[in-house]
Chain A
Amino acid sequence: MAHWLSQPLSWTTAAVFLASAVAMLLVVLLFVTYAIYFERKVIGWIQLRRGPNRVGPYGLLQSVADVLKLLVKEDVIPDRADRTLFILAPVIAFVPAFAVLAVLPFTETLHFADLGVGLLYYVAVSGITTLGILLGGWASNNKYALLGGMRSVAQMISYEIPLVISVIGVVLLAGSLNLKEIVAAQSGGFWNWFFLKQILGFAVFVVAALAELNRTPFDLPEAESELVAGYHVEYSGFRFAFFMLAEYVYVFAMSALATVLFLGGWHPPIESLGFVPGLVWFALKFAFCVFFLFWLRATMPRVRVDQLMTFAWKVLLPLALLNLFLTALVKELVA
Chain B
Amino acid sequence: MIEYINNYVLVSIFVLLGLLLPVAALTLGRFLRPHRPTPEKGKPYESGVEPTGSSWVRYNVRYYLFALLFVIFDVETVFLYPWAVAYNQLGLFALVEVLIFIALLLIGLVYAWKKKVLTWT
A binding-site residues for B, Cβ under 8 Å:
4-9, 13-14, 17-18, 20-22, 24-25, 71-80, 90-91, 94-99, 101-103, 112-115, 119-121, 123, 138, 140-147, 150, 153-154, 157-158, 160-161, 164-165, 168, 171-172, 175-177, 228, 233-234, 237-239, 241-242, 305-306, 308-310, 313-314, 317, 321, 324-325, 328-329, 331-332, 335
Contact = CB atoms under 8 A, between A and B. Distances in A.
Nearest to B80: A168
B94 to A, nearest CB: 9
Closest 3 pairs between A and B when the two form their complex, measured CB to CB: A79-B42, A306-B120, A98-B18
Contacts of B45: 142, 144, 228, 233-234
Interface in B86-105: 87-88, 91-92, 95, 98-99, 102
B119 A5 contact: no
A81 to B, nearest CB: 8
A153 B64 CA distance: 11
B70 A171 contact: no
A328 B87 contact: yes
A171 B46 CA distance: 47
8 contacts: A17-B9, A91-B22, A94-B18, A99-B18, A115-B7, A168-B77, A309-B118, A331-B87
B70 A238 contact: no
A310 B32 contact: no
Contacts of A120: 81
A157 B109 contact: no
Nearest to B20: A25
A313 B109 contact: yes
B10 interface: yes
Given A8-B2, A113-B10, A114-B3, A71 B15 contact: no
Contact of A141 (B7, B9, B22, B56): B56
Contacts of A14: 9, 13
A33 to B, nearest CB: 14
Contact of B14 (A74, A102, A175): A102
A10 B63 CA distance: 49
Contact of B8 (A25, A91, A113): A113
